[in-house]
Structure 1
Amino acid sequence: MEYGELMRIMEEVHARRLSGFNCAEGVFWGVTRSIGLDVPVSCMTGFGGGIGRSGSVCGALCGAIAAAGVYIGRTEPEDSEAKARCDTISNSIVRGFMDEMGTEVCREILGYMPESRPQHAGGERQIHPKCKQAVTVAVELALRQIKADQCRSTKTSPEDQSG
């Protein structure tokens, strides 16, 4: 993915965040739209603020992993190839996120419990700089890993192996 395209996606994601999307919704929306999928973002609403504003696993990371699942996750229990590909992508996203952010725990990223801050009730929305950074990192990692998977699967497609 080209830098300019990534910047356009990030601008859209951050605009949606300022409009009210939480971290998980924003990441999931940006990644799925970028790879040509139109999946309801409502499935991610409960993941914001470290899952239900509990300060647990970062919602941005959850959104990235969920988008990877929509991209390549299995739909049948016996699809071990899809599971392996999704696990590889997800593991790379988590490792990259931890390297960049130092932790996957929302309250540790922010330095406080999300539930202790009032929810947005109109007016100008303030987004914590560390949350904005986590969203950016999660989107970049997810898109990079999905793109790498697409390149790997293209190189090993049956058409390439014939003849």
Structure 2
Amino acid sequence: MKSDPVTSAADLFAQGYNCSQSVFTAFAEENGLDPAIALKIATSFGGGIGRTGNVCGAVSGAILAIGLIHGMDSLQESGKKEQCYALDQEFIQKFTAKFGSIECTKLLGYNLGIPAEREEAGKKGVIKHICPGLVKGAAEILEELLKKDKDYRKT
């Protein structure tokens, strides 16, 4: 039996997966996507998208999960695109209200795209101390949004 996605996301991050992989895979698995594929899809979103310090990986993972769960797969499903955009916006608003930003650099206080800053952040344990809360918070916000849709879990 699988654990809930919030616990699963936290566990994945603790194992060494990045923020995006952790959040996306936890929700993807709940919705029938092979975890190995989910981990691959979300790999490049870590460190603020390819370690550039842009959008937080936990946010990217949640947005990917929203698309997986509610996304359109044909042009005849344009309403699903609008549903995703609405959920994306609500997620981002709630995440920003809780953490102050969706930008990795602002959340960590370091730009992971700059080797010296990444090294300094590593020495100070910034990722170990801040990112677990961001992963858990993103998963909790997403779980809350998705609970409105009682049928979101496909498995």
**TM class, shorter-length:** 0.7 to 0.9
- 1:93-108 map, 5 Å: 93-108=91-106
| SS of 1:103 mapped into structure 2 | coil
After TM superposition, the score normalised by the length of structure 2 is 0.79
Q: Cα gap change, 1:149/1:87 in structure 2, threshold over 3 Å: closer, same or farther?
A: farther
In 2: Cα distance, 1:127 partner to 1:109 partner:
10
Other-structure match for 2:122: none
* Pick aligned residue for 1:30 from 26, 29, 34: 26
- The C-alpha deviation readout for 1:36-89, integer Å capped at 9, x for no partner, is 322422111000000000000101000000000000100112312211211121
RMSD, aligned CA: 2.2
Aligned residues: 139
Q: Cα gap change, 1:88/1:109 in structure 2, threshold over 3 Å: closer, same or farther?
A: same
In 1: Cα distance, 2:149 partner to 2:84 partner:
9
- 1:1-163 map, 5 Å: 8-34=4-30, 36-39=31-34, 40-41=37-38, 42-115=40-113, 116=115, 117=118, 127-150=127-150
Structure 2's unaligned 5+ residue stretches are: 120-124
Q: Report percent identity of matched pairs.
A: 29
Letter paired with 2:11: A
In 2: Cα distance, 1:12 partner to 1:145 partner:
17
For the pair shown, which has the larger CA radius of gyration, 1 or 2? Answer: 1
Aligned partners of 2:20 and 2:59 also within 8 Å: yes
Aligned partners of 2:5 and 2:143 also within 8 Å: no
Aligned partners of 1:13 and 1:27 also within 8 Å: yes
User: Structure 1 residues 97-106 or 15-24, which shifts more?
Assistant: 15-24
Deviation at residue 126 of structure 1 after TM alignment: 8.1
Q: Cα gap change, 1:11/1:145 in structure 2, threshold over 3 Å: closer, same or farther?
A: closer
| SS of 1:114 mapped into structure 2 | coil
After TM superposition, the score normalised by the length of structure 1 is 0.76
